[in-house]
Structure 1
Amino acid sequence: MAMDIMTSPVVAVGPDSILDEVCDLLVTRGLSAIAVIDHGALLGIVSEEDLIHRAEIGTAAPRRSWWFRLFGNNTALAANYLKSHSVHVTDVMTRQVITVSLSTPIEEIAALLEVNRARRLLVVNSERVVGIIARADLVRTLVSARKSLPSKISFHDDASIRREIIAALRSEAWPSIGEADVIVTNGVVALWGGYLSEQERKASLVLAENTAGVRAVDDHRVPFDIAYALV
């Protein structure tokens, strides 16, 4: 859940803060984003992405031609100028912030980050910001999970290895390999038959390799188009 992987407390500034304060916090604390909070209420977030296009470093959007200024979107042009020239946090921050609750599952958090192409999201409880989760937090969770995995059993009888592989194949939607195409001898898995794609071939190899007791995998399969041509 979110409460298990979030970073807390969240470093934040108020709506009256200026850009210098935010930059100092980002640099001195090694952060990538800072929340903007007013009396506990989340207003927005200032991240590294918000500071990429700034007039001070010559990366602000170039001035448009008179034709574009005449027929372009006045609101968007003015907003871009504010973001690249203003020193007020409320002008620079991003107001659309993804939030989750303390009990939001990790898989939902990963999906939100991916779908929204976001680098982080905030955790709220009773409308108060209580934590922040970045992509790096998911990586750290992965590292911890892998370290806690039980070590592979050095010996497993061939019949149980085969049953586990077949059960794992059945639980997935992508395999085209049949039960008869899986043979296990002395911990060595032999895969026969065909496959529809290179991605499927590699995925089934990983599935077999990750099965407890497997010593090696011998892949004798061929692409289905070749298999059909040989019939």
Structure 2
Amino acid sequence: MTTPVVSVAPETCVSDVARLLLERHISGVPVIDSAGRLVGMVSEGDFLRRAEDGSHRHGSWWLRLFSGSGANAAEYVKTHGRSAADVMTRDVVTVTEDTQAGDIAHLLETKRIKRVPVVRSGKVVGIVSRADLLRGFAAQRHAPAVPASVEDETIRKQILEEIQAADWAPTYGVSVVVVDGIVQVWGVVDSPEQGEALRVAATNAPGVKGVELNVSSIPAYAWGV
């Protein structure tokens, strides 16, 4: 999973949510209330339904007749609302930290979603996307098909804790995969120095045999897109 998780509040303005998705190069973001509870997800798909560009289609009158006033009213809120709470998907599919990668892949496929929040005791602690799964499978391409060892998981948690506590950590987060003591770090960084700091943090963890850094930098001009 990727951690820490970028999130928004229910009252966050729709335009601010859209800007966040563009700046962080992500396609969806969890909506978390003041108590830390997951209440919804806003994705790029939700913005495709927006009417602000004047392209919203009202559909045929007979379809609206059979869908009922309640459904029509809910659709209006989604296409005209101004906050994350208005446009978000409320029925969010989640997994736990113990959910197997194969089960997550099956979930993403059957539910036709691109990402799923990872929840611990009702709080979001990470998010797994299709890209995260591909990274994990790539990292284990030469490893036997067995669950990660206790040692590998301990190393992974130590590295993530070190990164999360750092004031230089990437604004979006990174994915860390450990197989037989070999660490793979994936993510997006703002500078080469940030990538080097990730390498050092991973190298310093007890039990690490090697580090493979798989990060890309965001060009300065990309922030103005």
Query: Helix, strand or coil: the match of 1:61?
Result: coil
Whether contact under 8 Å (1:53, 1:61) holds in the other structure is no
Matched, 1:96 2:67: no
Gaps of 5+ in 1: 1-5, 151-231
The amino acid across from 1:51 in the alignment is F
2:14 corresponds to which of 19, 29, 35: 19
**Within 5 Å, which residues of 2 pair with 1:1-231?**
6-38=1-33, 39-65=35-61, 67-70=62-65, 72-146=67-141, 148-149=142-143
Please give the alpha-carbon distance, in whole angstroms, between the structure 1 residues aligned to 2:66 and 2:136.
50
Q: Specify whether residues 87 and 145 from structure 1 end up closer, same or farther in structure 2 by C-alpha distance, changes over 3 A only.
A: same
**Identity among equivalent pairs (%):** 46
RMSD of the TM alignment (CA)?
Answer: 1.8
Please give the alpha-carbon distance, in whole angstroms, between the structure 2 residues aligned to 1:32 and 1:71.
32
Whether contact under 8 Å (1:45, 1:97) holds in the other structure is yes
The amino acid across from 1:139 in the alignment is L
User: Cα offset for 1:8?
Assistant: 0.7
Please give the alpha-carbon distance, in whole angstroms, between the structure 2 residues aligned to 1:140 and 1:117.
19
State TM-score, norm by structure 2. 0.59
State TM-score, norm by structure 1. 0.58
Please give the alpha-carbon distance, in whole angstroms, between the structure 2 residues aligned to 1:141 and 1:82.
38
User: Cα offset for 1:80?
Assistant: 1.1
Please give the alpha-carbon distance, in whole angstroms, between the structure 2 residues aligned to 1:128 and 1:21.
23
Kindly provide the CA deviation profile for residues 56-108 of structure 1, in whole angstroms up to 9, marking residues without a partner as x.
Answer: 1234232543x555554111111111111111111100011111111111111
Q: Specify whether residues 69 and 104 from structure 1 end up closer, same or farther in structure 2 by C-alpha distance, changes over 3 A only.
A: closer
The amino acid across from 2:16 in the alignment is E
Query: Helix, strand or coil: the match of 1:99?
Result: coil
Query: Helix, strand or coil: the match of 1:141?
Result: helix
Please give the alpha-carbon distance, in whole angstroms, between the structure 2 residues aligned to 1:85 and 1:71.
22
Over alpha carbons, which structure has the higher Rg? 1
Query: Helix, strand or coil: the match of 2:3?
Result: coil
Please give the alpha-carbon distance, in whole angstroms, between the structure 1 residues aligned to 2:23 and 2:119.
25
Quick one: higher RCO (CA 8 Å, sep 6+), 1 or 2?
A: 2
Kindly provide the CA deviation profile for residues 134-177 of structure 1, in whole angstroms up to 9, marking residues without a partner as x.
Answer: 1111111122122x359xxxxxxxxxxxxxxxxxxxxxxxxxxx
Q: Specify whether residues 72 and 102 from structure 1 end up closer, same or farther in structure 2 by C-alpha distance, changes over 3 A only.
A: closer
